[in-house]
């Protein structure tokens, strides 16, 4: 395993672990944000989302069933990106810009995870 691959695992896994920690640390604030986006069972959704990020991030960081971890992350990111960062619904230009940035970031991460999963199946399955 090359150093670049290990570095990538640390950065990507660490990103999701950090954001999982943030979900649990700021549960009330993120619950309020989810409620403002009309997410059903907002508190539970934030907790489940945090758990999905933690599992997926640990999977990547530790190299344990990474494909499954990435699929968990995709299952979290796709609906979250659409529900939480629907910039096309925003009227305030500043809010619209911030949501568009978050949407674009998540879309790029989704794309990277899709590429990585497909490469793993191509070479390791």
Nearest to 50 by CA among 71, 30, 78: 30
* pLDDT tens readout for residues 10-52: 999 999 999 999 999 999 999 999 999 999 999 999 999 999 9
Q: What percent of the chain has pLDDT over 90?
A: 88
What does pTM read for this prediction? 0.90
Domain ranges of the chain: 3-124
Nearest to 20 by CA among 58, 50, 59, 64: 50
* pLDDT tens readout for residues 53-68: 999 999 999 999 999 9
The predicted pLDDT at position 40 comes to: 93
């Amino acid at each position: 395993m090359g150093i670049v691959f290990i570095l990538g695992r640390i950065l990507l896994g660490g990103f999701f672990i950090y954001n999982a920690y943030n979900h649990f640390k700021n549960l009330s604030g993120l619950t309020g944000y989810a409620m403002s986006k009309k997410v059903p069972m907002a508190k539970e959704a934030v907790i489940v989302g945090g758990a999905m990020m933690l599992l997926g991030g640990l999977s990547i960081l530790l190299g344990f069933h990474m494909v499954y971890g990435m699929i968990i992350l995709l299952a979290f990111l796709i609906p979250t990106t659409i529900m939480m960062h629907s910039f096309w619904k925003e009227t305030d230009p500043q809010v619209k810009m911030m949501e568009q940035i978050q949407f674009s970031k998540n879309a790029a991460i989704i794309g990277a995870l899709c590429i990585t999963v497909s490469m793993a199946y191509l070479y390791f399955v």
